[in-house]
Amino acid sequence: MALLRSLSAQRTTINLVKSGSCSSPTAASAVAAQRTHHHQHQRRNLHVATPSSLSPNLKHHLHHHLHLNRHHQLIWSLLIQQRNVHSPSGPNQQVTQADVSTVGRKQQQHPASSSASSPQRDPLDVSFNDPIAAFKSKTTWELVRAYLVYMICSSEKLVEHNMTLLKLARSLLGGRLFVMLMKSTFYGHFVAGENRHTIVPTLERLRSFGVKPILDYSVEEDITQEEAEKREVESSVSSAGDNKEEGAMPQYHVDKSFADRRYKVSSARTYFYLNEATCERNMETFIKCLEAVSDDDAKVPRAVATGATFGTGITAIKLTALGRPQLLLQLSEVIMRTRKYMEDFVGGQGNVLTHHKTIKDLEKYYASVGDNKDVQEFLKNVTSDKEGILHLFPWSGIVDENSQLSDTFRVPDPQTGQMRRLISQIPPKEEEMFRNMIRRLNTIVKTAAELDVRIMIDAEQTYFQPAISRITLEMMRKYNKDKAIVFNTYQCYLRESFREVGTDLEQAKRQNFYFGAKLVRGAYMEQERARAQALGYPDPVNPNYEATTDMYHRTLSECLRRIKLMKDCGDDARKIGIMVASHNEDTVRFAIQQMKEIGISPEDKVICFGQLLGMCDYITFPLGQAGYSAYKYIPYGPVEEVLPYLSRRAQENKGVLKKIQKEKRLLMAEIRRRLIRGQLFYKPKGNYVPI
């Protein structure tokens, strides 16, 4: 309550506005004369008073009409206690940064009526220092709650033991009181609601302020480290054993020391394989998310979509939720061993498609064994186009559910012609598990395409990522024929990020499909670095934060460069869609500046921005209100089942104290401004249309 005490100590004069006049700004008429008449009418109805001058009847009327909850009443009582405190210079004496921060303040406080042809747009303060633009979508209680949550997140001891404290509170308070406490604090701040129906008001309010949703059902298992390690080890080794053949790569084999994949990870959810039935339930959960997004989209009238993402809603999924991790490990190792196998042939590192070698070049490479039937059969299955070889293996068959992994991943020895396996023999039951995993993903993406909802497949650890990216690119090839349905995620803290994005952009261009990418800094850096050191393979992580920022900006610039080339050549620039998923305002500013220099407008919808619900509102909402494509990552689920998610959010906020300090400063500035202006009971009512 330290915040409330500090508020009550403010020696100000409060302008209390009569019931109705403190709600969100009323839309003006399209005719100038009607606007003037409306504002004159508002001024006639304006009642200015100090708390001491209000009658008991008026106080009762305000309490009843505004449906005040207990927290609002507490703040109200603090104001009443100030009846004898008056500012000697009048209500306009104190001026905050919010009062002068942005050009066009009058348009923000009194938005013009929106129409299909000219939706409301606000000027963007690229310094992101405008508390009104940041928090006009929030009630005052929500601002106070946010401030208190960030105060708690600033305490290292509280955050370090947050899960223990949550469980203790649960046992002391009982289920009902604990749920009420969480909804009034952390859950209410970071989570949208318990199910697809209770989140609707949050989604509607976000959209009314220009922000769109990325839905994620954030229920997580709260299992012990021992249970996590047991599950991971059992599901990461084939029933035929972990046979490390010649050329095996240690990073693609499970190690018990790192089997609990939650180790040093605070900003990403972890799935641990239990059985195939659990994977089926996860698939159904993802489909329900898609349906929830589709229902929300259907409520928003809009013209025919013309951008890279076309519709507006997005759902995030993880591939480790849909199948046995052993299969992703083995597939990842195959991909990396194939690249090593091809180094002699292509004369360098990286994916074969970037070297533009042809089938004839490959035939020459196998000249000494060219008559071998197995070699001839291998050459028939190589995927190529007029520019050269794309893939050594028929990946389209793999994602179409009909290929046997053990039979597919074999390459000829260039000296003897003998076929060598790049993957250990997979038992028939595990082959079936792989086909089931691909079937589940196909079902999800097909449903997304039918509902016109985007799918973002999250990045995971580097020992899974080659397989995840390969499968995701094949889903793009299959479903992104007319627009971007599937997006891949690239973690820019990795040394290979720039090269990987370039390779995938090249594949999209040559195979003529829409490319979708979400760029993030990444969630597994500490774990990746520790694992690489322990298992003796090269550290995949950039050396420092500055190198990661440079990698992010280089990768984004390359995507934008290709978009510009498409525009200059008269091609469809919408064939590349990028989400800048970052809480770093410097990166957001960089993207905006690059868009201006290249000539990409927000309406092109080839670049969008995303942040987590409850974090960096001072970035997301000004972007959405200025007409940029802005998203909030929206978690939802029952209170007690999202505690692991809330624990991670607290940990993540502890690690970004600089951002917390700015958010706290802006929150306090807006709370003070509302106190001074008599807008304590402000009701958010947006008039924006997301692009």
pLDDT tens digits for range 118-133:
678 999 999 999 999 9
For residues 361-374, average pLDDT: 86
Determine the Cα–Cα distance for residues 223 and 208; give it in Å rounded to an integer: 39
Residue with tokens 């038992």: 427
Q: What's the whole-number mean pLDDT along residues 203-221?
A: 92
What band does 273 get if pLDDT is binned at 50, 70 and 90?
Answer: very high
Question: For the CA atoms of the chain, what is the radius of gyration?
Answer: 28
Residue 404 reports pLDDT greater than 70:
yes
Task: Note the pLDDT of residue 75.
Answer: 42
What is the rounded distance in angstroms from the CA atom of residue 495 to the CA atom of residue 471? Answer: 21
Q: Which of 387-391, 457-461, 648-652 has the lowest mean pLDDT?
A: 648-652
Prediction pTM value: 0.81
d(CA 157, CA 234): 35
pLDDT in tens, 547-591: 999 999 999 999 999 999 998 888 888 999 999 999 999 999 999
Token output for 236: 């990461």
Q: Contact, 350 vs 503, CB < 8 A?
A: yes
- Give the closest residue to 136 by CA, choosing from 206, 48, 215, 214: 206
CA distance 438 to 509: 24
Contact 524, 492 (CB under 8 A): no
Over the chain, what is the mean pLDDT? 81
Q: In which band, very low, low, confident or very high, does the pLDDT at 297 lie, cut at 50, 70 and 90?
A: low
| Residue 264 confidence (pLDDT) | 83
**C-alpha distance from residue 296 to each of 285, 307, 520, 603 (Å):** 17, 19, 26, 21
pLDDT tens by residue, 85-116? 333 333 333 333 333 333 334 334 444 334 44
- Let me know the angle formed at the C-alpha of 146 by 140 and 147, rounded to the nearest 5 degrees: 90
Banded model confidence at residue 442, pLDDT cuts 50, 70, 90: very high
pLDDT digits (tens, 9 = 90+) for 371-380: 888 898 889 8
C-alpha distance from residue 247 to each of 333, 396, 420, 455 (Å): 10, 26, 11, 35
pLDDT of residue 655: 60
User: Residue 401 — very low, low, confident or very high, per pLDDT cuts 50/70/90?
Assistant: low
pLDDT band at 645 (very low <50, low <70, confident <90, very high): confident
Q: What's the pLDDT at 279?
A: 97
Q: Could you tell me if 581 and 520 are in contact, meaning their C-beta atoms sit under 8 angstroms apart?
A: yes
Band of residue 653 on the pLDDT scale cut at 50, 70, 90: low
Pairing of strands 454-457, 419-421: unpaired
CB 411 within 8 A of CB 392: yes
Q: Which of 403, 546, 529 shows the shortest CA–CA distance to 462?
A: 529
* Pairing state between β 383-385 and 388-391: antiparallel
User: What does the pLDDT look like over 604-617, one tens digit per residue?
Assistant: 889 999 999 999 99
> Could you give the CA distance from residue 186 to residue 441 in angstroms, rounded to a whole number?
33
User: Of 151-160, 357-366, 464-473, which range is least confident?
Assistant: 151-160
